[in-house]
């Protein structure tokens, strides 16, 4: 099973700042089958990125993803108030599918 470790656990930043979230895999994620989801309180997760670097439909271009192999990054270039949420990474290339434990992005 591929274990995904997200860091930091909590990230405290101000609107307008840049956010960098990390997702590290215990073994290589095949073909960059890595997705990122955003989840706000009381809501279902929403797909942000897939294939490590492709934005889902309707996702603003301030969100970007990068990485390959075992190290992946989600970057939010300039934080908007609505970006403060929990972010989850997921690998979907190997069975079983696994998620990271999440990074909480909070307002400083």
CA distances from 31 to 35, 73, 94 (A): 12, 16, 10
Contact residues: another protein, CB under 8 A: 1, 31, 33, 35, 37, 39, 44-47, 50, 56, 88, 90, 92-102
Q: Which is nearer to another protein, 13 or 59 (CB)?
A: 59
CB of 14 to another protein, least distance (A): 25
- CA angle, 35 then 11 then 68, to 5°: 30
Q: Which is nearer to another protein, 14 or 44 (CB)?
A: 44
CB of 15 to another protein, least distance (A): 25
- CA angle, 17 then 44 then 8, to 5°: 40
């Amino acid at each position: 099973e591929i274990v995904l470790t997200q860091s930091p656990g909590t990230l405290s930043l101000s609107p307008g700042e840049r956010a960098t979230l990390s997702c590290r895999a215990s073994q290589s994620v095949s073909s960059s089958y890595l997705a990122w989801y955003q989840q706000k309180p009381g809501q279902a997760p929403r797909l942000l990125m897939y294939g490590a670097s492709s934005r889902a439909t309707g996702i603003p271009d301030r969100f970007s993803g990068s990485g390959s192999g075992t190290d992946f990054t989600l970057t939010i270039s300039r934080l908007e108030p609505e970006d403060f949420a929990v972010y989850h990474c997921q690998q979907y290339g190997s069975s079983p599918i696994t998620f990271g434990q999440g990074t909480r992005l909070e307002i400083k």
